[in-house]
Structure formats: structure tokens, C-alpha cells
Structure 1
Amino acid sequence: MRGLPLQRRHFLAGLGLAACTRQNGASAPRRPRAAVELYSVYDLPATDARSRELSGIAWDGATRSLWAVQDESALIVRLAPNADFTRWDFAEMVHVTCGGPVDLEGLVMTKDGFIVASEEGPRVIEISRTGQFVREIVLPERFRDARHNQSLESLTLTPSGRWLFTTTEVALPRDGSVATLEAGTRVRIVRIDRETGEIDEYAYATDPAPYATGDWGVSDLAAVGENELLVLERGWTRYRGNTARIHRVTLDASTSCAAIDALSAATPALTKRLFVDLGQLTFRGLPAPKQPQSSPLMDNYEGLAIGPRLEDGRGSVIVVSDDNAHDNQVARILVLAVRT
């Protein structure tokens, strides 16, 4: 199975480590760059229907562009950036035909086409480059019990192309409650071996909910290596707006939970480290938010992908917001620069 070039794999491995380790040694004469910085921000035109409800994303190095799914229209759209990522333009669209209703939330590219995750079902489906159904990847039966509208939100593929990951937004009913102020929600990160079909599951606990009301859960994953992931957690609360954080985890066999019928607070969960809190990033010149937000940068961030190496040598991570087709939200693309 063809994956990414070896040079690209080394870049991804460095990306995951550099952003989460503290540098030792004597102080530099000038203030060093932060491990993760906001490189560019672009708001897609609200009048263009292709901007609506963008969710899962995948970077295409061959065409230097970003593919994104629209979560209720069964469409995949391609976005091409300019040289410094300060503008993105729409290109072609792919109409997805999957033999049944879909609510597309996750997306990865393969050498032959795409794999999509649908909250409806839930389903994980391989499709051709033209959007035609190829096959369905069968998930463990328990995932059919996922909470309505809080099912599969994520999808990512490792650099080798062998391991596919997805998870639900919040815990399955058998595994516990949604996030509260006191505790996060426990989800099962599913790892699918595309060569053998073998499936494993790893317990992951989100942060506690930032507020007593609203929602909080996992909206996407991005593989930075064969056994390392970035996990995007995000939520929304009325009158306070959105919160979004990205964490990094390394898979640990001790947290495998495929054989556990129901998770509990005692079930070992993956150890995570904060990669970046999007609410703490700053960027000059942003318009005032259309609804209450803790920062002008914040909106409903749902899509996460590893991007290309930037001109200054740093790695990149791309984040996209879903405007939910609401006029008081914005479809926004962030490019984060990561010291490697």
C-alpha cells in the first residue's frame, strides 16, 4: 500500500514532537518563536454556497490544495491557496454517491480516491476519485448505538496509508455521559488496519466541558505518525461562543479497549498533551465576530489536517470551521505554523 514519501514521513514525525516539547539550554538573546503560531487566516465568501458546512478536510500535496466535505450535501470541494495561504479559491467539486443517506463529517485521501466518515449510519465508506461507492468499512456493532448527531465526526490516515482512525464526538451511551464541568466524555478512537481489516479501539477522555451548558467533544483527528495523533476538541455555549483545543496523543496498548463492553472512569485512557489552544492565538485585523466569542478568531472549528512545509521551513496544520449554514457564523481556514 503506497503511503507518503519517506521525507514527508520524517517531517510529520518531527511536527508532532516539536510542538509539544520544551527546549532546554541557555536563554536565546531574542525571544524564540512559539512552538505553534497562527500563520494565516482566510474567511471564505459567505455568499458562495460551497463555503457552507465544511467539516472534514484532507491536504493534497500532489495538487497543493485542500479537499473538504460539506456535511449535509454529499459534496467534496477542492480549495486552492495562493503562495502564502492568505487566499483560498474554490476549484472542482466531487458529488458523493454512497447508496444511502449520508452526513459527511470526516475525509481522507488515498492513492485511488477518498474515504469518508458519515454521521448518518454511522458509516465509513471508500469512494473513487469521482465520488462513486467502492466499499463500506464495517465498524464494530456497538457504534450503531452512538448518540444522535454526536456520532462519527472524524477521520485520518497515517503517512503509510495503512492505519485509518475515527471516533465519535462524545461517548457511546454504554460508555458514559457527555462532558460535564467535572469530567470529560470518554470516546473510543478506532484504529482500522487497511491491509488486514483488523480493528482496535483506544479509550480517550476529553477535557471537562468549559461551561455548565452547551456541548463539548471531539470533532476531528490528524495523524502525525503511525502511532501519534492530533485530536481537535471543540464546543459551543450560548452567550459565550466557541472553545477549541488541539491535543497530541501517542497510542498505548494499555489503553486498548476493544474487549471492554462498557467504559468507565477506571478504564485507562490515552495520555494527552496540549498542542495548542486556538482561543489563545492572536491575529491582527480580524473582523468583529458575528456572535459572542472569547476571541475574534473563534468559530466552530471542525476540520483538522496536516498541511505542507511552509516557505520558512516550519511545518503546518490546517484547521477549518463549519458555519452550520448560519449567517452569524463564518467559514474560516486557519494555517498554523509549527516549529520542527
Structure 2
Amino acid sequence: MRLRSVLATVTATLAAATCLTAAGPAVAGSATADPGKSPATTACSPSASIDGYSDALDKTTYNGTFVGNFSALAVDRDGAITALSDRSQLFTLDPATYQPRSVRALAAESGAELDSEGLVIDRDGTRLVSSETEPSVRRYGQDGTLLDRLPVPESLQVAPAGRATRNATFEGLTLLPGGHTLLAAMEGSLSGDATGIVRLQTWQRHGGGGFRLSAQYGYRTDSRLGVSETTAAPDGRLLVLERGFTAGVGNTVRLYLADIRHATNSSGIDTLNGQDEGVRLARKTLLADLVDCPSLGATARQPQPNPLLDNIEGLAVTGRTHGGALRLLLVSDDNQNPAQITRFYRMTVRLPHGG
């Protein structure tokens, strides 16, 4: 979601990921093993640790294009990092240095710019991109050519066409293991649903690679937070970033593990209040509140409860440790705002056993 208007006022695929080693660049803020220090010095929680951060791309350009406004990350089939800008730019980044290798522009059918927020790289290399304008999910070729567009339920469309609120629609997009189920996460609640309950929409692959509408699930966010990203874990559960911003205080960013396997299909349920008997929302478990991470010497350009924090929107699984923990790469959306930072974060997360 673009927060530039608020902040300006306040401050003036997965398959490739399972084998990729994401060491990341050697930058200020890297957390390295030190036998004289406790491992707890990098811990954000019992389940997660911060391994380093990089501001190397902040306020830079590549071939005349501003590098930033990042809203999503994905790992390409060759191991490169693909970063999606909400200004309709798709960057290919070096996985070791994050330096851009290429950039391609994306557009809607009319040629208009997208408010692009979610990204999936499909098994054939096509790019699935969600835009929160309508909202929509479109498929693009590797060269940026628009291929087609997926159907979206009427209720999820922005009012007056549907019940969604502008800038609070498809913020997260992920392909579940096996490649048959695509999932998009709404950032905010539909009109009529209880505040904090958002919809997770799925599509099932069919025929020659297209997707048909499938089940929908409810997920409850924490108070005053919205979903900024959703990424599938290797076991089919979901990593969910919840994010919020409070003027004069800064960002709240929490990483959850969500499980939709026992949730009720809500595609035929008009309103979700979280109290209906027999309607089960996705179950979630807190992995880390990033305010509790060590700052690693990071600095902020506006008030933050932890100077490491910024407007984090992108998340990708980049590999596993020898012990089976997940390596994650996160990125913040600087909104092209001098008070915000394009910052990459490397984390390690150990998932609890799923039931």
C-alpha cells in the first residue's frame, strides 16, 4: 500500500528458494557469529533472528529509473532476486549485492501505471502481479508483455463496484507449494466485515496454466494493523507480515505464521464478524515483533520505536539453514520519501511444527 500521502503530511518461486543460499552483501548491520557473544544478541524472538540489513540501494537510480518503492520480492528460477516497485517497475537484483541487473516496466491493458503490490514468479517464468487499484492479478511474460488477467470476486473490488476500500486490497500474493494454488491477501477489511478481518482469496490452476477462482478464507489482523505481505512456507502454511504506522511513533511490523488448512471457506459468506458459530478463521502464531529485534546500529530518518524499522512490505523465502530454519529477505517501501529508507533485511525463522 502506498503511504506517501500520509507520510508526506507527517514528515513533509518458492522452488528456487528452497535451495538458494542467501548470504547477502557484507554491509553495515550484518550480524556475524562471535564466539564471545550470546546468540541471543541477534534474536528478535525465540523463533526468529535478524542476520543483517542493507541500505545500499536507498535513493539510488539504475539506467535513469529510481530504485525504490519496493512492495514485493520473489526469487527467480536462476536465483536472482526480483523486486517489484509499486510504480510498475520490475527489477532484477543480484542476490549477493542487491545491485540491479535489469528493470522492466509493467502496465495495465490501457497502458496505465499499476499500483503493483504482490509478485509471484510462476514455474514457467511468467510473472503474476497484483495491483490494489481495482484490485487485479495480471500475468506478464519475462519481457513484461501482458498475457492475461485473473477473475476477481465482485465483493473484493473497490467500492462502489464492490465492498473493498481503496488502497486496502491485494497487498500480498503467493503460490502455494506444488504450484496449483495461488493466494492473494487483502490488506484491509471489506465493508460489512468486522474491523481487522481480511479475506484471503485463492485460485486453482487448470488446463493450460490458467487459474480459476477457488476458496476464500478469513484472517484476523492485530488491532490497527493490515496485511502487507503473504508468502508461502515450504509446508504450505503462510508467512504473513502485518504492518501499521502511527504518526510521531513510527511503524509496527509483526511476522506471523498462518494456517488455512482448517479454516472455513468464506467465499459464500457475505459478512465475517469472527464470532459466527462454525466459521473458523485462519489460525495464526506470532513468530516475531520486529520492534524487539536488535537495531544492529541502524538509524532512522523519522521517529521509530526501533531505528531498524521502516515501512516493510516485501518478503521472500530465500533458502534454509542446515538445521531446517528458513532464511528470509524483507524489504521496505520508501515511497520515494526522504524521511523513509529502502532497506533490505535478512532474517532466520524457525517454524513451529504444524498440526
Question: Which residue matches 2:297?
Answer: 285
Q: State the shift of 1:31 in Å.
A: 6.7
Q: Distance in 2 between matches of 1:304 and 1:149?
A: 19
Work out which of the residue numbers 229, 236, 242 in structure 2 matches 1:233.
Answer: 242
Q: Distance in 1 between matches of 2:104 and 2:94?
A: 15
Q: Distance in 2 between matches of 1:187 and 1:66?
A: 28
- Inter-CA distance 296–193: structure 2 relative to 1 (3 Å threshold): same
Paired residue secondary structure (2:134): coil
Question: Which residue matches 2:268?
Answer: 259
Question: Which residue matches 2:332?
Answer: 321
* 2:222 maps to 1:204: no
- Inter-CA distance 198–119: structure 2 relative to 1 (3 Å threshold): closer
Calculate percent identity across the aligned residue pairs. 30
Paired residue secondary structure (1:199): strand
Work out which of the residue numbers 140, 149, 160 in structure 1 matches 2:167.
Answer: 149
Work out which of the residue numbers 117, 124, 131 in structure 1 matches 2:130.
Answer: 117
* 2:73 maps to 1:65: no
- Inter-CA distance 310–271: structure 2 relative to 1 (3 Å threshold): closer
Question: Which residue matches 2:6?
Answer: none
Q: State the shift of 1:313 in Å.
A: 7.0
Question: Which residue matches 1:168?
Answer: 186
Question: Which residue matches 2:228?
Answer: 219
Q: State the shift of 1:109 in Å.
A: 0.2
Q: Does the aligned pair in 2 maintain the 1:163–1:193 contact within 8 Å? A: yes
- Inter-CA distance 312–257: structure 2 relative to 1 (3 Å threshold): closer
Q: Distance in 2 between matches of 1:259 and 1:229?
A: 23
Query: Aligned partner of 2:79: which letter?
Result: R
Question: Which residue matches 2:108?
Answer: 98
Q: Does the aligned pair in 2 maintain the 1:108–1:114 contact within 8 Å? A: yes
- Inter-CA distance 63–311: structure 2 relative to 1 (3 Å threshold): farther
Alignment RMSD (CA, Å): 2.5
* 2:283 maps to 1:271: yes
Query: Aligned partner of 1:92: which letter?
Result: S
Paired residue secondary structure (2:198): strand
Question: Which residue matches 1:46?
Answer: 59
Work out which of the residue numbers 42, 65, 72 in structure 2 matches 1:56.
Answer: 72
Q: Distance in 1 between matches of 2:327 and 2:302?
A: 28
Query: Aligned partner of 2:340: which letter?
Result: Q
Q: Does the aligned pair in 2 maintain the 1:127–1:135 contact within 8 Å? A: yes
Q: State the shift of 1:255 in Å.
A: 2.4
Gaps of 5+ in 2: 1-12, 22-37
Q: State the shift of 1:227 in Å.
A: 3.4
Q: Does the aligned pair in 1 maintain the 2:259–2:284 contact within 8 Å? A: yes
Q: Distance in 2 between matches of 1:188 and 1:233?
A: 14
* 2:98 maps to 1:80: no
Q: Distance in 1 between matches of 2:261 and 2:340?
A: 38
Q: Does the aligned pair in 2 maintain the 1:4–1:161 contact within 8 Å? A: no
Instruction: Using structure 1 for the length normalisation, give the TM-score.
Output: 0.81
Q: Distance in 2 between matches of 1:31 and 1:78?
A: 33
Q: State the shift of 1:262 in Å.
A: 1.3
Q: Distance in 1 between matches of 2:267 and 2:253?
A: 28
Q: State the shift of 1:315 in Å.
A: 2.7
Query: Aligned partner of 1:117: which letter?
Result: S
Q: Distance in 2 between matches of 1:3 and 1:152?
A: 20
Query: Aligned partner of 1:256: which letter?
Result: N
Q: State the shift of 1:97 in Å.
A: 3.3
Query: Aligned partner of 1:98: which letter?
Result: A
Work out which of the residue numbers 250, 254, 258 in structure 2 matches 1:249.
Answer: 258
Q: State the shift of 1:314 in Å.
A: 4.7
Q: Does the aligned pair in 1 maintain the 2:140–2:146 contact within 8 Å? A: yes
Question: Which residue matches 1:295?
Answer: 306
Number of residue pairs the alignment of both structures matches: 299
Q: State the shift of 1:226 in Å.
A: 5.8
Instruction: Using structure 2 for the length normalisation, give the TM-score.
Output: 0.78
Q: State the shift of 1:225 in Å.
A: 3.6
1:257-301 Cα shifts (integer Å, max 9, x gaps): 111011113143111100111111114222x21000000110000
Q: Distance in 2 between matches of 1:303 and 1:271?
A: 22
Q: Does the aligned pair in 2 maintain the 1:98–1:132 contact within 8 Å? A: no
Q: Distance in 2 between matches of 1:117 and 1:174?
A: 24
Question: Which residue matches 1:18?
Answer: none
Q: State the shift of 1:52 in Å.
A: 2.2
Q: Does the aligned pair in 2 maintain the 1:244–1:277 contact within 8 Å? A: yes
